[in-house]
Chain A
Amino acid sequence: METMMKMLLKNKELPEGAVAIVKSLSESGDTALFAIVGDMSLGGRYGATTLLFTATKAVLYDESLSAPREYLYEDMEDVRAKRMYGNATLSAKMKGGKREIFFRYTYGVAPLCDAAALFISHLKEGKPFNEEYAIVSVAFEKALSVCPKCGRPLLHPGAECIMCRSKKKIVKQLSGYILPHTKTLIFCIFLSLFTTFMALVPPAITGFIVDVVFSDGESSVSLLNMIANAFKGEPKKVLTAMIILLLCTYVLQYGVGIIRSYLMRTVGNKTVAALRNDIYRKAQYLPMKFYDKTSTGSVINRISGDSSTLQQFMLRITQEAVVHLFQLVGIVVIMISMNPGLTLLSLLPIPFIVLASRFFSKKIRPLYRRIWRRWTKVSSVMADTIPCIKVVKSFTGEQRSTAVFEEKNKDWLDMELHLGKIVTAFPQIISFCVTCGSLIIWGVGGGKVIDGVGGYSAGLIVSFISYASMFYNPVTFFANLSDSFQGALASTEKILDILEAEPEIELPNSVTPDHLQGKIEFNHVSFSFDRTKKVLDDVTFTIEPGEVVGIVGTTGSGKSTLVNLLMRFYDGYSGEILVDGHNIKNFNLSGYRSQIGYVQQEPQMFSDTIFNNIAYSVPGSTVEDVMAAADTANAHGFICRQPDGYDTMLGERGVGVSGGEKQRLSIARAVLMRPSMLIFDEATAAVDSETEHLIQDAIDKLIEGKTTLMIAHRLSTLRRANRILVVDNGHIIENGTPEELMALKGKYYKLVQIQSMTADAERMRREERF
């Protein structure tokens, strides 16, 4: 029973009533496979409900119903999950023709119910049970966007919760960056202890000066007494000796401080540099899958921002915490040894200081966050309207956009003014508390000095006040340590998310292909990004070496996915893809990719010279190879006319390189590496027809004898194709020569008709006008 409950897929703990049903199911020999714990009754009121699924039926538990209801799959037709507004339903046409709603829920569980609806309908269609069950379990996995143990929201669904995973592992990961500097760090701790000790000396000396030098009293510090005795009767000389002693302490304290800060800074910078190197290197090898769910901006943030947050925290823990602790203990020991009663008194304000600093940091942080959000709104108004200034002007929206900006800016200003009050008050109030502590010492201690109570002297009071004020620093440090811990934890989580992510898979005994003939075979390839909806469904085709293949289809039909799989950007597909008869998964990744010239729709250029951008594909290319590649790509001509020729920096002010020219540069980049196969992903989609002609011409020169895949919207791009694949909804629906497909009068025929119609219409319009 126990194990069965564990095996049962569920999104939450089951209500008791549902557990009873699971038990009774198992007693009757049936097994509950998965359970969706819902949140709404059929009548639309909130309440715990559960829909249990077995291989043959669904059982509804609803606390507002007297008995569970059963729905047999065989009674159902056309199971449907329908999202309404704020709630959704699972319904089926029952035998007898009436559609019955059997589960109602809010959007939170909707993805699970979508999967469940598919599960039932697919089972009814007779699809294999195991496959369908796997799809459902993925849906459940994805629904886990909070940690099942502690309920904390996760970075992404299915991620490991950093609060619950073994702290040992995290410490081990991170200590790798600290360990090389262990010696320096330990040395730094010693230096810190030394400076701390030095900081403790001056109050003792000042107390001595007050007591012995000014009023000829006695001191409890024996070392200082020895010096005083040496100059008996000459207070000025004793004072000079004390001042020299103070000077020496200060020189030592701050001199060692310089060395320590320098060492700490170097260690810190080295740590963060090593951390950044690792994150960046890792980020280069992460599969495309990772970048699909993580924005590139956030990856950049992790490399630049989070790594330094983490580094600061690591140093704080290894250094400041140790030093502050030592300081705290040292001061308390000294104070107690001087006067235990007064020590207790001077500790009185501590709870207030701790509370005040906790209170303020709790209060201020949300305010800062609110200010940040207000500021984001201001800047998003800017980011929206300034690039679209043409639209603003053409619809005379200047006043409106100014009004919106002023409103958001006022929100920000109000918030900032509000924060100003608290932020300026906070340090003052803390200082006030500290000063109040000295008032107590003055009041109580001073009174005892006047009364002549034994053990109390003016010097004692003076040193005490100095010590007490030094005491509050470490106290506030420890009071706020947990906040910086929280911040560091968030950064750690984001960094480990990259460091521990699976890189692209490379088989251990992979082979490096030296030249590919270019025979491409897809055997029953299916692929889906999240395993619930298939982007490619059982795709099979063969492309012979040297064929030029056009891939057409509507947006989202799966054309680009075909190419992505062939490029091995994604590896998680079923079936196999063979090139020259070898499974591409067995190829060495970089060796394989360097055989394919891939030209994207959006040419992407680095901010470097034109020469280096072309030579990116083959580092160390000769000038003449690059020039030849530029010739083939019809790019040499316009490069010649740039004032800086091949030395033109792209992305620099005043560099006039158009989109079409960039596209030709990216073709030159592909040409340079002499690929065995070519892939053009809508290479001409975003350029005018004259540039298209130039690019087309470049492509024609290039594809000679090479297997070429061309994804295209404009069918004019495909005039060189000797074979067309029509992709629709993840299937290859037509496959043949253009003539064959035209004769077929299918989808391709229709596309040609539509496009030639628009072309005709265009021509007619133009003729009319002139």
Chain B
Amino acid sequence: MSRIYLSSADKVEKYENHLVKVTMADGSTVEGLEPRRLFPVTNPDAYITLLDESGVEIMVIRALSDLDKASAAVIETSLSDYYLVPRILRIISKAEKYGTLRWTVETDRGICSFDIRNRNHDIHVMRSGFVRVRDANDNRYVIEDCNKLDKHSYALLIADT
């Protein structure tokens, strides 16, 4: 079984909602594919798999740069629809009750509050300063560089890592 990798000769267009339609270089088309990241955490822009309705992989994009600009844009829009990961810009307040943390944060999508059940497993700080946060309902958030946070937010974050 060999995998089909898309190249700049293939075109990707919007199909419906976040699904896409792929026209291969030979003219054949596949409709209703769902782009999904294979490495949403460590390498979000590489290895994007395109699954059909039943979740079977049809083809793979090695890197967005392999595609022409228009196709890459379609994929990016689709991915940003599928993966809703707010970027935390500021931690407004932190409260702790019965071992559960409650953060109120300002994100690029507005202000929200959420619970963090296990600070050891659900807050990952990478060496680079990148932070991944998972709330009690399994929603994801990121802080792109915790060193660039304001002092107050940084103090609140670092107390739990």
Contact = CB atoms under 8 A, between A and B. Distances in A.
Interface of A: 609, 611, 623, 627, 631, 636-637, 639-641, 643-647, 652-654
Given A631-B3, A654-B138, A644 B55 contact: no
B41 A647 contact: yes
Contact of B56 (A637, A643, A645, A652): A637
Interface of B: 1, 3, 36-43, 46-47, 49, 51, 55-57, 117-118, 121, 138
Secondary structure of the B side of the interface? loop
Secondary structure of the A side of the interface? helix
Contacts of A653: 117-118, 121
Nearest to B138: A654
28 contacts: A609-B41, A609-B42, A611-B42, A623-B46, A623-B47, A627-B38, A627-B47, A637-B55, A637-B56, A637-B57, A639-B38, A640-B49, A640-B55, A640-B57, A641-B51, A644-B41, A645-B36, A645-B37, A645-B38, A646-B38, A646-B39, A647-B39, A647-B41, A647-B42, A652-B121, A653-B117, A653-B118, A653-B121
Contacts of B121: 652-653
B38 to A, nearest CB: 4
A641 B3 contact: no
A194 B42 CA distance: 55
A654 B118 CA distance: 13
B88 to A, nearest CB: 19
A641 B55 contact: yes
Contacts, number: 48
A653 B55 CA distance: 23
Contact of A640 (B41, B42, B46, B51): B51
Given A627-B3, A641-B55, A653-B117, 12 more contacts: A611-B39, A623-B39, A627-B47, A637-B55, A637-B57, A640-B36, A640-B51, A645-B38, A645-B39, A646-B38, A652-B121, A653-B118
Contacts of A654: 138
Closest 3 CB pairs of A and B: A647-B41, A645-B38, A641-B55
A637 B54 CA distance: 11
Contacts of B39: 611, 623, 645-647
A652 B121 CA distance: 8
A645 B43 CA distance: 11
Contacts of A636: 57
A609 B38 CA distance: 12
A606 to B, nearest CB: 15
A465 B41 CA distance: 68
B57 A644 contact: no
Contacts of B36: 640, 645
Contacts of B49: 640, 645
A640 B38 contact: yes
Nearest to B121: A652
A277 B131 CA distance: 29
B1 to A, nearest CB: 6
B122 to A, nearest CB: 9
A639 B42 CA distance: 15
Contacts of A647: 39-42
Contacts of B56: 637
